[in-house]
Amino acid sequence: MRTPFVAANWKMHKTVQEAIDYARNFVPLVASVSDVDIVLAPPFLALPALVEATEGSRVGVAAQNVSAEPNGAFTGEVSVGMLGAAGVTQVIIGHSERRQLYGETDAGVNAKTRAAIDAGLTPIVCVGETLDEREADRTFDVLDRQVGEGLAGLTPEQVAALVVAYEPVWAIGTGRVATPDQADTVHRHIREQLTSQFGDAAASGCRVIYGGSVKPANAMELMALADVDGALVGGASLDPASFAAIVTASRPSTT
């Protein structure tokens, strides 16, 4: 049984103080939840403060991006060592906004994923197709490439320990959500790809989560699917009560 994994991606929202205030409200709401791994991913500036604000709770803290380079003349970048020193435990890699707006490639995702694993961080590796790719019936081809190249060279043990987030680009911030049948089909395909590339044990251990306009109203139906192991939540995670409701909907006892 894979433990559900639910992460809040705040994107470019919340000041340091707003992040602290959020944690003060959110942590008590999920204090009794012991069967879901919960992660908050704030902007870089709020990471140390949020690590401190969630100390002693089961809420982890993730970064939204990282450099594959350990150090050097890379203005504006943040290394895995810096994240580890700040108390961060996970990092989102290859989010569609990074791919679309900043030109991230599958090779870059692979380099960042390897660097994160080597530093002891858990990668949350994002994959997903655009609307044009879906309408051209290329969804599986895109996902096979992103999974294949993004995780290339990893060991089965490393793959079993990381998180893959399927985020159909056409459903991010649009209010559109993959239907349960669509999500189920794609998640099953991703797990089959993991099996083909890394074996049964790796595919069974790796958590594949869904991201794309997840809200309290649709979370329980999505989380009930056998191959959906949690959610990467954007806009609905900005309110602590809303995100707590999604966490509760993800509990194994409610599915």
Give the CATH number for residue 158. Answer: 3.20.20.70
Which residues are CB-contacts of 214 (< 8 A; sequence separation ≥ 6)?
177, 222, 231, 232, 233, 234, 236, 246
Q: For residues 22 and 6, what is the distance between their CA atoms, to the nearest angstrom? A: 16
How do the residues of the chain divide into helix, strand and coil, expressed in percent and rounded to 5?
A: 50, 15, 35
Between the alpha carbon of residue 66 and those of residues 46, 74, 79, 163, the distances in Å are 15, 12, 6, 16
Number of domains in the chain: 1
Give the torsion through C-alpha atoms of 129, 131, 132, 137, to 10 deg.
Answer: 70
Distance CA 247, CA 13 (A): 20
d(CA 178, CA 87): 34
Active-site residue identified among 129, 133, 167, 189 = 167
In tens digits, the chain (255 residues) has pLDDT values of 899 999 999 999 999 999 999 999 999 999 999 999 999 999 999 999 999 999 999 999 999 999 999 999 999 999 999 999 999 999 999 999 999 999 999 999 999 999 999 999 999 999 999 989 999 999 999 999 999 999 999 999 999 999 999 999 888 777 777 888 899 999 999 999 999 999 999 999 999 999 988 999 999 999 999 999 999 999 999 999 999 999 999 998 544
- Residue 59, domain extent: 5-254
pTM for this entry: 0.96
Q: Answer yes or no: are the C-beta atoms of 236 and 11 closer than 8 Å.
A: no
Q: Which amino acid is at 5?
A: F
**Spatial distance between the Cα atoms of 248 and 220, rounded to a whole number of angstroms:** 9
- 187 classed as catalytic: no
Pull the structure tokens for residue 128.
């997903």
3-state secondary structure 152-173: CCCCHHHHHHCEEEECCHHHCC
167 catalytic residue (yes or no): yes
